Structure 1
Amino acid sequence: MSKLRIASILLIISTLLLKFSSMLRDLVIANYFGSSHEADAYLAAMIIPNTLILFMLTGMKEAFLPSYYKYNALGKGFSHLTNIVKGTFWISLAISIVGMAVSPFITPLVYPKAEAVDVAVWTAVIYFASVFLVGINAVYEGYFDAQKKFSFSTFSQTSVVLATIGGTILLHDRLGIYSAALGYFIGTVISFLIKLMYLKPGKFMDWKQPMDRKEVSAFYLIFLPVGLTIAVGQVNLLINTIFSSRLEEGVVANLNYAFRLVNIPQAIFGVTIATIIFPLLAQAKTSNDMELFKKGIEKGLSFMFLFVAPTVTGMVLLMKEIVQVFYQRGEFDATSTALTSEYAVYYVGSVLFYSIQAVIAKGFYTLEKGHYMLRIGIISIICNIIFNAILVKTMGATGLALSFSLVGFVYSAITFSTLYKLSGGFSLSYVAKEYGKVFVATAVMVVVLLLIKGFMLSWNVYVYVAVMMVIGAVVYFAVLFLTRSQSMRELVNIKQFKRKASEGR
């Protein structure tokens, strides 16, 4: 079995563990706190520091990998790692201190309700305290990705989520929802210690090496636009939270639960496929082979749609039952299930559009055109504010979910058309052909599921969802096989994919 296939399988497995552990975290919070003011305050308050956390985590991976490769080719990879770690230490420490200091002033702007504003403030303080170690963890996760140890990076993030779950379960009686925030903080410490023990202190960095300020500054000039671009989605979530926190109790929490649920396909398939094709795009850039670059984007878009399209379609058909399976227990009642299901359906469009964007983004970063993404991201933020203002008045909370999907469409459409022009154009006929086969297979799957759905409505909801998922998957892939989907065949044979990407379709 090839190293690429092994790495891909491990990445998919570790990503699945990360996303389902994240789902379990939300399930635990929903179980203990439901759609209460306390849950609203916690979820609203964590948005601001979480924007910075994702800015560091994801942005660092995108920026550090090519930077490390460049210095490593000169024999200075370890020295570069040391410089970035030391520089990030001071930057992250400053962000943590400033964030904790200003939390009492900025958090009420996001969550102004007096019922739980103190919960919001202290949640933000605890999360900002975590930013200090998150920054350092981010550098090493970028380093592990550069070493093609993708799964280790993902597993280290999983340890943070598991600590959040553990803290909530063990301490919710005594600390309330602060238990979740404290668990997250402990998780960042555990994640750091895992990396330190794995690398050993001597290979962690060169402790005696003076920090090269010019090298650190040069890196952050590259990192900032990349990180800001990555944070665009989180900024849009912040905007949605500001609007939703002005509505009735439970809206913030239920919108969050809905978004987290439908986001699973994007995080598993969209992000994973984008990560897998990144080395191929980097290879194309290094060899100045634009045809290979184009084929990499085309394959990435085809592979992504192959998995995302049937998944989100199936979720729409079974949304209420899926929400019931995941969330309905403890403090999360049938009313919360109905509202969360409704919001989730309106969020579905964003899954497809942001999955497309995840693949396209790799193309911009490979071509060192990340500033285009930042400009387009700013446009999407402006659109989100306008859409939110209009739709929240006409549709209420569901309008906020629909707004996110509309913004995703605008974002992906502009990024795709821009990269299309920059690269000289992709083979739209190839992509359309593969998308057409996926559409046919998905349509057949929907028809079959609708035909059998009425016969199983009286079944236990867990059995019903499981059986429908299995039948849907079997029908879908059977039709893909009959339509001779090239994307499916290439995914089964990674070596064939690599050869065809290099030699032409």
Structure 2
Amino acid sequence: MSKLKFVTLLFFVSTFVLKFSSMLRDVAITNYFGSTRITDAYTVSMVIPNAIVLFMLTGMKEAFLPSYYKYDAKGKGFSHLTNVVKGTTVIATLIALIGMMLSPFIVPLIYNDFQGEAKDVAIWTSVIYFASILLVGVNAVFEGYFDAQRKFSFSVFSQTIVVFCTIGGAIFFHAQLGIYSVPLGYLVGTLISFLIKLVYFKPTNFIDWKQKSDWSEIKAFYYIFVPVGLTIAVGQVNLLVNSIFSAQLGDGAATNLNLAFRLINIPQAVFGVTIATIIFPMLARAKSQDDKVLFKRGIEKGLSLMFLFLAPTLAGMLILMPEVVKVVYERGKFTAEATAATSHYAIFYVGSALFYSIQAVIAKGFYTLEKGHYMLRVGIVSIICNVILNAILVNTLGASGLALSFSLVALIYSAITFTTLYKLINGFSLSYVGMEYGKVFIATCAMFGLLMLMKGTVETYSPNEYVYLMVMIIIGAISYFIVLFLTGSRSMKELMNIKQLKREASEGR
């Protein structure tokens, strides 16, 4: 097996484990605390600090990789890593302290519908998550470093540790600490993740402790990083807008909307974000070598491979959504009524998974070219559109309108970023991408039609939802790949072409 194929497979598996563990976290929360006002308070109050977390975590990784390659080519990679770590430590500490101090004032102002215990939960959840940001910032730099070294799975592993600690907090301390066990578990997880990195590198090799901070270099990096980080946080700002609206829709609405979004987000993260991450080093090296052909090829590959896996997954979820939600969430204090509501909202979120996955691949092109400010501008437009659409659709469709708004904003966001990058790099092969999308669409439609025909029969002879889902997934996967093979999909052939993968791995692609 080629090195590239092994790394890709390992990253897919580790990312799947991460998203599966994230789902288990949601299952633990709903099992012990249900779809209640207290859970709503936890859910919406973590959006603000989580936006900062993603700003530091994902944004740092996106900006650090091309920056590290640039300095490493000059023999200054470790020195650059040291500067960024020291600068980030100072900045993350300030953000954490300011966030903790302002939470008791800002949270009640934004979510004024919460009173009593729900208000206290909202405030302290925000405080605890802000306290973790110092460690999140430092972890983010080293996870960016791991990605630069193509150790994708190690980066994902360190994030999985955080999720498992969050789950552990809920399982072992829910009786003593209530829902506070969840954010406290997250805080402990960020500490353990940091300590693992410290042990892995050994304290003496962690950074160059004696090196003086070069603030001119740090400022230059943050000049690139801030627009990238803010762009990453745009999605969280849109979720913040949604959370403000959802907090006014009654008990359980915010929680059910959040669960629906997270469930739909799994295929987006496993396929969209994973493939975008894998092609990032290819784009970064193409940029450093001024290889415009390779750069464009990387974008084409990313878009095609992403759709190859994402389209059938989302189509299958459209058919199987009620059963999926029931199997995943319905236990403990999470009722059948909550399952029905979550399933309904999830349908409206499907568009967001597709369009944000396209945007995830396109974003790598902007970040590689150090043009993150383009996406920031588009992100600001998307926030304005989200506020307008939320105000309109929530009055006509209720909570479903918030989910639909998110999908429509994703469409606008991806369309603008796609066309902007296309113009910026003087185009890439739309005919190649279009042909691949057409073949995937045909195979997906064939799979969808077959599953609709088989749905009643399989349901009749299945003893429970688990067997039903397993049989339907197997039928769908087999039919999809058979039709895809018959259409002559080049993306599928490339996945199966070991010689080509070996050649690309040897060429550093």
Q: Could you say whether these structures have the same fold, taking a TM-score greater than 0.5 normalized by the shorter chain as the test?
A: yes
* Distance of 1:149 and 1:494 partners within structure 2: 21
Does structure 2 conserve the Cα–Cα contact (< 8 Å) formed by 1:301 and 1:431?
yes
In the TM superposition, what are the counterparts of 1:93-492 in structure 2 within 5 Å? 93-112=93-112, 113-115=114-116, 116-458=118-460, 459=462, 460-492=464-496
Does structure 1 conserve the Cα–Cα contact (< 8 Å) formed by 2:148 and 2:281?
no
1:465 alignment partner AA: L
* Distance of 1:90 and 1:433 partners within structure 2: 49
1:206 alignment partner AA: D
In structure 2, the residue matched to 1:75 is: 75
* Distance of 1:495 and 1:108 partners within structure 2: 59
1:234-262 Cα distance to aligned partner (Å, 9 max, x none): 11111100111111110110000000000
Taking a change above 3 Å as real, the CA distance of residues 176 and 469 of structure 1, as seen in their structure-2 partners, is same
* Distance of 1:46 and 1:197 partners within structure 2: 30
* Distance of 2:63 and 2:206 partners within structure 1: 20
* Distance of 2:221 and 2:297 partners within structure 1: 29
1:445-472 Cα distance to aligned partner (Å, 9 max, x none): 1111111111122420111011111110
* Distance of 1:288 and 1:196 partners within structure 2: 35
Does structure 2 conserve the Cα–Cα contact (< 8 Å) formed by 1:297 and 1:359?
yes
In structure 2, the residue matched to 1:23 is: 23
In the TM superposition, what are the counterparts of 1:50-69 in structure 2 within 5 Å? 50-69=50-69
How far apart are 1:26 and its partner, in Å? 0.5
* Distance of 1:216 and 1:370 partners within structure 2: 17
Counting aligned pairs with the same residue, the percent is 68
Counterpart secondary structure, 2:273: helix
Taking a change above 3 Å as real, the CA distance of residues 362 and 502 of structure 1, as seen in their structure-2 partners, is farther
Does structure 2 conserve the Cα–Cα contact (< 8 Å) formed by 1:244 and 1:252?
yes
Does structure 1 conserve the Cα–Cα contact (< 8 Å) formed by 2:386 and 2:405?
yes
2:9 alignment partner AA: I
Counterpart secondary structure, 2:458: coil
* Distance of 1:396 and 1:348 partners within structure 2: 17
Does structure 1 conserve the Cα–Cα contact (< 8 Å) formed by 2:379 and 2:413?
yes
* Distance of 1:270 and 1:494 partners within structure 2: 22
* Distance of 1:255 and 1:111 partners within structure 2: 16
In structure 2, the residue matched to 1:46 is: 46
In structure 2, the residue matched to 1:32 is: 32
1:119-178 Cα distance to aligned partner (Å, 9 max, x none): 000000000000011001111111111111111000000000000000000000111100
1:86 alignment partner AA: K
Taking a change above 3 Å as real, the CA distance of residues 451 and 154 of structure 1, as seen in their structure-2 partners, is same
Does structure 2 conserve the Cα–Cα contact (< 8 Å) formed by 1:305 and 1:438?
yes
* Distance of 1:184 and 1:440 partners within structure 2: 43
* Distance of 2:427 and 2:79 partners within structure 1: 39
1:269 alignment partner AA: F
Query: Which shows bigger deviation, 419-428 or 344-353?
Result: 419-428
Counterpart secondary structure, 1:176: helix
* Distance of 1:206 and 1:424 partners within structure 2: 42
Paired residues, what number? 503
Does structure 1 conserve the Cα–Cα contact (< 8 Å) formed by 2:458 and 2:472?
no
1:363 alignment partner AA: G
2:267 alignment partner AA: P
Does structure 2 conserve the Cα–Cα contact (< 8 Å) formed by 1:45 and 1:110?
no
2:300 alignment partner AA: E
Does structure 1 conserve the Cα–Cα contact (< 8 Å) formed by 2:70 and 2:288?
no
Query: Which shows bigger deviation, 49-58 or 200-209?
Result: 200-209
**TM-score, length of structure 2 as denominator length:** 0.97
1:64-116 Cα distance to aligned partner (Å, 9 max, x none): 11111122222221111111111111111111111000001111233221140
Name structure 2 gaps, 5 residues minimum.
none
How far apart are 1:498 and its partner, in Å? 7.5
Taking a change above 3 Å as real, the CA distance of residues 79 and 491 of structure 1, as seen in their structure-2 partners, is same
* Distance of 1:49 and 1:480 partners within structure 2: 43
Q: What is the CA RMSD across the aligned residues, in angstroms?
A: 1.5
* Distance of 1:174 and 1:477 partners within structure 2: 50
How far apart are 1:287 and its partner, in Å? 2.6
Does structure 2 conserve the Cα–Cα contact (< 8 Å) formed by 1:55 and 1:227?
yes
Does structure 1 conserve the Cα–Cα contact (< 8 Å) formed by 2:2 and 2:501?
no
* Distance of 2:66 and 2:139 partners within structure 1: 18
Counterpart secondary structure, 1:457: helix
* Distance of 1:60 and 1:484 partners within structure 2: 39
1:31 alignment partner AA: N
Does structure 1 conserve the Cα–Cα contact (< 8 Å) formed by 2:4 and 2:502?
no
Does structure 1 conserve the Cα–Cα contact (< 8 Å) formed by 2:2 and 2:505?
no
Does structure 2 conserve the Cα–Cα contact (< 8 Å) formed by 1:296 and 1:501?
no
* Distance of 1:161 and 1:502 partners within structure 2: 35
Does structure 2 conserve the Cα–Cα contact (< 8 Å) formed by 1:110 and 1:245?
no
**TM-score, length of structure 1 as denominator length:** 0.97
Does structure 2 conserve the Cα–Cα contact (< 8 Å) formed by 1:323 and 1:341?
yes
Does structure 2 conserve the Cα–Cα contact (< 8 Å) formed by 1:96 and 1:128?
yes
Taking a change above 3 Å as real, the CA distance of residues 411 and 494 of structure 1, as seen in their structure-2 partners, is farther
Counterpart secondary structure, 1:75: coil
Does structure 2 conserve the Cα–Cα contact (< 8 Å) formed by 1:110 and 1:241?
no
Counterpart secondary structure, 1:74: coil
* Distance of 1:359 and 1:444 partners within structure 2: 26
* Distance of 2:456 and 2:467 partners within structure 1: 14
Does structure 2 conserve the Cα–Cα contact (< 8 Å) formed by 1:44 and 1:110?
no
* Distance of 2:93 and 2:290 partners within structure 1: 40
Name structure 1 gaps, 5 residues minimum.
none
